Amino acid sequence: MDTLLAWVITTLNSTALSGFVMGNAYLFPILEMAHFIGLCLLFGSLVIVDLRVVGFAPAVPITSVDRFVRFALIGFAINLTSGVLFVIGDSDRYLVNIAFWSKMVLIGIAGLNTAYFVRRVKPQMDQGVASRDLTKDAHVVAWLSLTLWTCVIILGRFIPYVEDL
């Protein structure tokens, strides 16, 4: 495994894109800002949707919060793009970091949770079902989403302070 990881790091470090990301004094800070904006869009939107699903702000029609799902997707796309550029640019830092890999695992689990949400919960929302009438698993999915993404944020903040695997 160490040999494969070393090969991946060496390969990424030798790319022109890596050189561009790390060699440009302005790009890394711009990527950091983009990642933060993406995080705000993603998590801010999810907080609105998930809290509404579990019953907060019952006067707001559940179909009204549906429009925030697209902002969450935009935020995720921004974070995916900037995150990939972080890894390509500074693979020595990220690919040997336990907080990074833990974050990636939680993002994968959050993705599965989102897929379940889209398949099982969103159709109920589209029909205008009140949050109290949503299935119990809808509430579990919403709380799990909030928990997973909060942990993803915390692990992202740990990355600069955690050493090698």
Condensed to tens digits (0 to 9), the pLDDT of residues 12-49 reads 999 999 999 999 999 999 999 999 999 999 999 999 99
CA pseudo-torsion sign 42, 45, 47, 53: negative
Q: pLDDT tens across 60-107, in order?
A: 888 888 889 899 999 999 999 999 999 999 999 999 999 999 999 999
What is the DSSP-derived secondary structure letter of residue 164?
B
What is the DSSP-derived secondary structure letter of residue 117?
I
124, two tokens: 């109920």
Strand partners, 164: 97
Answer whether 0.75 is exceeded by the pTM.
yes
Residue 54 structural domain? 2-161
**Number of separate domains in the chain:** 1
